[in-house]
Structure 1
Amino acid sequence: MPLHLTIVMRDWDFVTPLLLGELSDPRIELDLRGVATLPGFPSAHDGIDGAEVSVSRLVAKRVGGDARDVGVASFPMRAFRHRCIITRKSHPAQSLEALRGGRIGVAGWQDSGNTWTRHAMVSAGVGLDEIHWFMGRMTSADPVSDGIGQFAEPGRIDPVADDTPLLDLLEQGALDAVFAPFMPEGFFGTGASFRPVLPDLVGAEMDYFGRHGFVPGIHAMALKQSIVKDHPWLPQALSDLLETSRALWTAKRQRYSDTSPWLFDEHLRVGRHLPDDWDASGVDKNAEMLATFIQTAFEQGLIPKTVPPQHVFASEA
């Protein structure tokens, strides 16, 4: 009898082959559920066996000695972060170096994406202590929450006064830039109030890849340790399913690229400038990326010590 497995993740397009039943593992009866907001770790929920999780929080959890969830080195959310650094259209900054000495808003200090974005700043030669950081909600529609927690440093990392949304402060000129994990409404239209700081995002991101050799992983997968203990083959099986689904979907997107006027150009750029395995799963294939994230999290004060990636993620079969 196959193992019934309930997995919760965002509704990424690449899981379409799985949802359509185009591939499967005879050992698994997969119940794949899409959510708008990630639930956190599967160990905190009855009825969930695995989930898409923050790499940052997974690393912190494992470093802190909590082994109730096992990481799976499959990265449903993976992208360069230079594009997430935005400013108002009238701001003069055209480089990350131009933000040195400035004020930057961030919605969550510990977030994986923001950790990687700060790494991009450091890679460009901007020290984190050369920025005055402000923490707050992105828009008025977002709930007021404590995104700063234990990481507050008065005069360096401060909460926003009166819970004013970061994008409002950016538009008013009180901030020089904001790290936006998702672009604000209207950003892609001609009447947008904001723009990326960098005029050549692809050039900057290719330079980053040339220096570091990877595309940052932002979210990974996690399984309850209890189910992995009983089924030690499961992490690899889940990783294989997701990787195969992504490969099938990528092939279809390349064939049917007419859903967007310039998707064809995107396929050309990725295929000709990145290696075939840039989005591969597995600890071994992602050893440099994971080691860099763990070291970066330590240097940014998110974790008290470094550990090898194998301490966080299940070994490969």
Structure 2
Amino acid sequence: MNKSISFLTLAIGSSSAFANVAPTTQAQVAAQGNLQLTISGYEFPRLKPILNGQVDIEGVDLDYVKMGIGEMNNDVLNGEQTLDITEIGLHPYMLAYANEDFRDYTLLPIFPLRVFRHKSIFINKESGIEKPEDLKGKTIGTPGYSSTSLTWIRGMLLDEYDITPQDVNWIASDVDSSKELTGAVSAQEAMMPNGVVIRTGTPGKDESELLVTGEVDALFHAAEPKAYVQRHESVGRLFEDSRTAEQTYYAKTGIFPIMHAVAIKTELLEQHPWLAEAVFDAYVEAKDIAYAQMNKLGWAADMMPWYVQELEATRTLMGDNFFTYGLDEKNTKTLETLFRYSHEQGLSDYQLKIEDTFHKSALELVEQK
């Protein structure tokens, strides 16, 4: 197979592009020449082999476009839809599907970003917050209330500590100190549900400044806020030993929270139903390359002094393939938990199901190990 990336892009944005056209087989496409498609995603080690051409999607030549997650979300959900295959925020997609009848793209069970979120709760150390239950009655800041990360945090706090969104006061900042990493917040990440009062913070202040000045007592944020990165003396994490808290949570629930999935144009899958498996297989192969690198030279490539010990501890708790793709039992439980959280929190109009959000050609996709 050709390992080079073609920089030609197929114009397929029209909603009638594949109207009344019979589905293809992979053999037919091979005989006619590869599909020319545009892809976007972060250059994570687990994705990089696809983005740099080391791993092919069989039957496809790719044009890689570099974007932040906010830009990817906005292109797909609110913009020109220039991307054929793309990483996307899971919850923004869910909200567009459930609340806006969005069907232009569909999901494949590939999860490029998974993150435990206990580490994402930051506090002003002078606020009197020492344990999760102390959040009740406090003021919480956020740059994006309905983002995937925040939805996971609120759900976890309800399930584990009986803290509802109505138990706290909410302030949304109009500036995000991590914007350069993530891109602009999409409309689906700034949704404000009925039954929850969300005020706007001081204009021009980012979420980090709100926390430092005490305008908010705590902060829920996917990225580390600027004040925490700069080791501001008044800012810390609610869970000081977030590693232990997250490992305990996983041991209890089996949930490794999913942040991003992969979206693909629905028309593409309708015209080329073999494409779901081809894309899935390529992402799995790329992830396997990343695993191999971790096993052989991860300790040398990474600057962390206890890299090997951390890798071994993770495998002991979560298994060798701890970053799984596909709709296996654990991933299905994780997805259904986020579906429940979204509806319970008044964000999605109804509780989604796996068969709603994932293309029918992808429902049986699981890794073969």
TM-score, normalising length: structure 1: 0.89
Indicate the residue corresponding to 2:200 in structure 1: 159
Q: Does 1:82 align with 2:127?
A: no
CA distance in 1, matches of 2:185, 2:205: 10
Higher alpha-carbon deviation: 92-101 or 242-251? 92-101
Within a 5 Å distance, the mapping from 1:124-139 to structure 2 comes to 124-125=160-161, 126-139=163-176
> For residue 59 of structure 1, what is the amino acid of its counterpart?
M
- Max Rg structure: 2
Give 1:120 deviation, angstroms.
Answer: 1.9
**Residue 279 of structure 1 is aligned with which of 323, 326, 329?**
323
Q: Does 1:29 align with 2:61?
A: yes
Within a 5 Å distance, the mapping from 1:82-231 to structure 2 comes to 82-125=118-161, 126-139=163-176, 148-151=190-193, 156-185=197-226, 187-188=228-229, 193-231=234-272
CA distance in 1, matches of 2:269, 2:123: 44
Give 1:71 deviation, angstroms.
Answer: 0.8
Contact 1:294/1:307 (<8 A) preserved: yes
CA distance in 2, matches of 1:272, 1:188: 30
Q: How many residues align?
A: 316
Instruction: Please provide the CA RMSD for this pair.
Output: 2.6
Please list the CA deviations of residues 145-170 of structure 1 after superposition, one character each: whole Å capped at 9, or x if unmatched.
Answer: 9864442657x322224353222121
Give 1:238 deviation, angstroms.
Answer: 1.5
Residues 12 and 192 (structure 1), Cα distance of their counterparts in 2 relative to 1, 3 Å cut: farther
CA distance in 2, matches of 1:186, 1:172: 11
Residues 212 and 88 (structure 1), Cα distance of their counterparts in 2 relative to 1, 3 Å cut: same
CA distance in 1, matches of 2:131, 2:35: 51
Contact 1:108/1:135 (<8 A) preserved: yes
> For residue 166 of structure 2, what is the amino acid of its counterpart?
D
Counterpart of 1:67 in 2: which secondary structure? coil
Identity %: 23
Residues 243 and 38 (structure 1), Cα distance of their counterparts in 2 relative to 1, 3 Å cut: farther
CA distance in 2, matches of 1:145, 1:63: 16
> For residue 59 of structure 2, what is the amino acid of its counterpart?
R
CA distance in 2, matches of 1:267, 1:87: 29
**Residue 306 of structure 1 is aligned with which of 335, 341, 351?**
351
Q: Does 1:316 align with 2:364?
A: yes
Contact 1:94/1:199 (<8 A) preserved: no
Please list the CA deviations of residues 291-313 of structure 1 after superposition, one character each: whole Å capped at 9, or x if unmatched.
Answer: 11111100001111113111101
Contact 2:86/2:262 (<8 A) preserved: yes
> For residue 264 of structure 2, what is the amino acid of its counterpart?
L
Residues 265 and 188 (structure 1), Cα distance of their counterparts in 2 relative to 1, 3 Å cut: farther
> For residue 45 of structure 1, what is the amino acid of its counterpart?
E
Give 1:46 deviation, angstroms.
Answer: 5.2
Residues 150 and 47 (structure 1), Cα distance of their counterparts in 2 relative to 1, 3 Å cut: closer
CA distance in 2, matches of 1:92, 1:206: 26
**Residue 71 of structure 2 is aligned with which of 21, 24, 38?**
38
Contact 1:120/1:208 (<8 A) preserved: no
CA distance in 1, matches of 2:85, 2:60: 13
Contact 1:63/1:307 (<8 A) preserved: yes
TM-score, normalising length: structure 2: 0.77
> For residue 134 of structure 1, what is the amino acid of its counterpart?
I
Contact 2:47/2:112 (<8 A) preserved: no
Residues 108 and 287 (structure 1), Cα distance of their counterparts in 2 relative to 1, 3 Å cut: same
